[in-house]
């Protein structure tokens, strides 16, 4: 993954739940960290 948007797409459209390991709705924590 190169962006948070890409990670969200795969989580939501492809149902790749492994991208959201802590199941908080935020995939790829390192990419999608909220500041």
pLDDT of the residue at 1: 82
d(CA 10, CA 1): 9
> Using one digit for the tens of pLDDT, what is the confidence trace for 8-18?
999 999 999 99
pLDDT top residue among 13 and 1: 13
> For residue 31, what are its two tokens?
């990419």
Q: What is the mean pLDDT of residues 1-25?
A: 93
10: left (phi over 0), alpha (psi -120 to 50) or beta: alpha
CB atoms within 10 A of CB 33: 9
- CA-to-CA dists, residue 30 to 2, 7, 24, 35, angstroms: 11, 11, 14, 11
Provide the residue ranges of all domains of the chain, joining segments of one domain with +: 4-33
Q: Output the pTM of the full model.
A: 0.75
Per-residue pLDDT for 35 more than 60? no
């Amino acid at each position: 993954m190169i962006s948070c948007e890409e990670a969200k797409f795969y989580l939501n459209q492809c149902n790749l739940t492994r991208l959201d390991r802590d199941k908080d709705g935020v995939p790829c924590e390192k990419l999608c960290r909220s500041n």
